[in-house]
Amino acid sequence: MFRQLYTALTSDNSLDQAFSELTEMLDHASWMFIRANNVLHNSVPAKDVRDSIYSRDRAINELERSIRRKILRHLTVNPGYDVAISLALMSVAKDAERIGDYCKNVFEVGQFYTQGFHVPKYQEPLDQVADHTIEMFRLVSHACHSSDESKARDAIAKVRTIRQQCDWVIQELFADENEIEFHEAVAYSLLARHYKRVAAHLANIATAVLGQLEDLDFYDED
């Protein structure tokens, strides 16, 4: 699908700019996700990145609105032309906007929960999920920029592992009969939820790269 989009871009500057803005949204979100996890691991104080986190989230929101305006302008000037591609781009822009929200949520867990993580049974798989998600950001960004279907497939393959690990953490927390502080259990469950959502939206963008428009939003389901 994105190869078709590249063809359309040669004749429409608005779509060209919209596509560049999608990549910019992903770059902002990737930065937010990495910094949020730095806060979780106490390698960066929350106060040092808070303003930048929220500033980038606002920038993502404005970019999503800008993409929407450009697509509507394109469809107004070219009625009936590139409708499927335009709607797909609008859909994945919304995915990128939601990713920014969940990255902000990850940061807020680290900002408000300051007692530390002490249960390797949960911390280690969630750390692995975070690493896989950072790699997903890299793969999806490259796939979008270069219309690389191989990278898109690699990203989608990772989301399955991420989803399984996050679901396992939540299920184990409910079944765990060992003593675990309530606030720490809440933090683990929130992280599992937020990580899962970030990965799902990244997978949805990768699905668009593959041109599987009928499957858009499939990976956004619980």
Exposure string for 116-139, b = 16+ CB within 10 A, e = fewer: ebebeebbebbbebbebbeebbeb
How far apart (Å, rounded) are the C-alpha atoms in residues 129 and 134? 9
Q: What is the pLDDT of residue 72?
A: 83
Q: 210 with 92: CB under 8 angstroms?
A: no
Residue 191's Cβ-side half-sphere holds a number of Cα atoms within 13 Å equal to: 33
Q: What is the pLDDT of residue 10?
A: 45
Which ranges of the chain have pLDDT less than 50?
6, 9-10, 219-222
Task: Give which of 157, 165, 154 is closest to 193, Cα–Cα.
Answer: 165
Give this prediction's pTM: 0.89
Tokens of 220: 């956004």
Tokens of 137: 């950001």
Q: What is the pLDDT of residue 98?
A: 97
Q: What is the pLDDT of residue 148?
A: 86
Q: What is the pLDDT of residue 190?
A: 98
Q: What is the pLDDT of residue 220?
A: 45
